[in-house]
Amino acid sequence: MTGCLTPFTYSFAEDNYQTAEIKFEHKNGVLFVDLEGQTTELPEKSYLSSIVVAAGRQFDIRVYVYWNGPGEGNRRRGIFRCPPLEAGGEYRLRFNFKTTESIFVKRIIDDGKNTIVLERKREIADVAGYIFGRKSLNEITYDLVYTQAIPPLGNLRKNE
């Protein structure tokens, strides 16, 4: 495939519900599989960057948690038990893992203490101070909402 992929947001919420959005941190190892058995249909040359869900209710999201290192491909498919989200909230789901580094190789520490983390976006306007000689107008931070432990990933073959 050539060219860039376009980010796509898929809505699982009915029009009459208050909603929240969950972004998947692909660079931090979380890929969406399904929401309580419902999958997505993506436009050609796109990838799923986020989903919109009904706010105020708990649900299960099936995800792949993965790590690609030199000569290895680690991943695990599992269920993330998402707590009720606030209407209008923007959230991100990411894989929080520890690594060990040597001069040539960075590897994940697969000790069973790695987690999937749900965080809510908080935007702070008019932050005082300057960044590279320009006044910073907005700063985006995230507040921790929920953390879920995952079992050790284990070294899996690429096609599993």
Residue 32 has pLDDT above 60, yes or no: yes
Q: At residue 59, what is the residue type?
A: F
- Read off the tokens for 4: 């860039």
The residue that leads in pLDDT, 61 or 107, is 61
Does the pLDDT value for residue 150 go beyond 60? yes
C-alpha span between 79 and 98 (Å, rounded):
21
**Residue 46 reports pLDDT greater than 60:** yes
The answer to whether residue 101 scores a pLDDT higher than 80 is no
Query: Rounded distance, CA 93 to CA 77, Å?
Result: 15
Where is pLDDT greater, at 133 or 80? 80
Q: Is the pLDDT reported for residue 120 higher than 60? A: yes
Q: Give me the long-range contacts of 34-41 (CB less than 8 A, separation at least 24).
A: 34/61, 34/62, 35/59, 35/60, 35/61, 35/62, 36/60, 36/61, 38/12, 40/10, 41/10
Instruction: Provide the percentage of residues in the chain whose pLDDT is more than 70.
Output: 70
Which helix (H) or strand (E) covers residue 144, if one does? strand 138-149
Average pLDDT over residues 74-82: 86
Q: Check whether 10 has a pLDDT greater than 80.
A: yes
Arithmetic mean of pLDDT over the chain? 80
Residue 133 pLDDT grade (very low, low, confident, very high; cuts 50, 70, 90): low
What CA dihedral angle connects 138, 144, 148 and 154, to 10 degrees?
A: 40
Task: State how far the Cα of 96 lies from the Cα of 74, in Å rounded to an integer.
Answer: 14
Place 97 in a pLDDT band, splitting at 50, 70 and 90: confident
127 has pLDDT over 70: no
Q: What is the pTM of this model?
A: 0.78
pLDDT band, very low/low/confident/very high, at 16 (cuts 50, 70, 90): low
The pLDDT assigned to 26 comes to 79
